[in-house]
Amino acid sequence: MSADAHQVDSAEPSREGAGGVGRIDTSRAHPARVYDFFLGGKDNFAADREAAKAALAAEPRGFLNVRHNRDFLRRAVTYLTAEAGIRQFLDVGTGLPTQENVHQIAQRIAPESRVVYVDNDPVVLAHARALLATGPEGRTDYIEYDLRAWEAILAEAARTIDFDRPVALVLAAVLHFVPGEEAHAVTAGLLDALPSGSALVLSHLTDDLNPVQIGNVAKAFKERGFAMVRRPRAEIGRFATDNGLAIVEPGIVPVHHWRPADLVDRAKVVEPDQAYVDGLEDVDRTKYRGIDDVTDADINLYALVAHKP
């Protein structure tokens, strides 16, 4: 368990912990890097690509879960910043920096917003300095910790976040990597530190929606070293209600149904020559495919946003 950190701040020199990059294991797939692959990123390795390929073979439209989860996050952060007035975000299990990160969304609306990212993949740390630039008024920090080290996360985050003021805790597509009641204990520990007026942004895999498809994907990932816990809607709701939070409308819904607005598919690149696309493997074509043809049969993630009274 490490405490490597990097911070971008207009008022203070940046900090960078030692040793993170040296611990990168490129021989095994990592969820954050597989996620990066499906978002069209380049910060992944052969093992991650192989895991993505296996998942796509198990469910050819499975990439829609990743891309719609990302757009749910955009809509949720926009709502919390523009309508709820929250100016601090703690994004745990953030994954690799890409387009439309939390700090970019929040600081575009409220430049003074402060954002702390947390992840346990040292590849994220390696890229944070270049990709997590912030504006002159706001502040962005990255700390390297496992989600389950929630007490250490709070201690490190306090260098950037004022826990006497409302904070939005972001747990997007991360709790399904934590088994059993431990996931609830971690969430409770983090939420207990947040004051009244704070919020929770959460998305989570489930068997409720399309169990065969997600079961096939989970099997492919488990064979490559990481298991995913699929929880039912009622248990996912407990992450909010057990901690006294009130879930906002439209409640607990598939990610593409949470306050749908104009689709912003940031992962899709400019259309290249069709002959070039046709020559790619199926797994590489996903980055050139749109996501506006999504149906309920494609999605296996529930989403919710909740407020702390």
Q: How far apart are the first and last CA of the chain?
A: 33
Contacts of 170 (CB under 8 A, 6+ apart): 73, 76, 77, 89, 90, 91, 92, 94, 102, 201
* Alpha helices, H only, the chain: 31-38, 46-58, 63-82, 102-109, 122-131, 150-157, 182-192, 211-222, 233-241, 274-278, 282-285
Q: Please list the rounded mean pLDDT of every run of 10 residues in the chain (309 residues).
A: 37 33 65 73 75 77 87 95 98 77 92 92 68 65 90 96 98 93 97 98 95 85 81 97 98 96 59 71 73 90 98
Q: Which residues sit opposite 170 in a β-bridge?
A: 91, 201
What is the pLDDT at residue 128?
Answer: 65
Tell me what pLDDT residue 14 has.
31
pTM of the model: 0.83
Q: Are 3 and 151 in contact (CB under 8 A)?
A: no
Angstrom distance (rounded) from CA 130 to CA 32: 18
DSSP code of 11? Answer: S
pLDDT of residue 134: 55
Contacts of range 288-292, beta carbons closer than 8 Å, 24 or more positions apart: 289/63, 290/265, 291/64, 291/67, 291/68, 291/71, 291/263, 291/265, 291/267, 292/263, 292/265
User: Phi, psi at residue 67, to the nearest 5°?
Assistant: -70, -35
**Rounded to whole angstroms, how far apart are CA atoms 133 and 101?**
11
Structure tokens at 165: 């003021």
CA distance 266 to 7: 25
Using CA atoms, how far apart are residues 26 and 142, in angstroms rounded to an integer? 21
The radius of gyration computed from the CA coordinates of the chain, to the nearest angstrom, equals 18
C-alpha distances in angstroms, 247 versus 197, 234, 258? 13, 13, 12
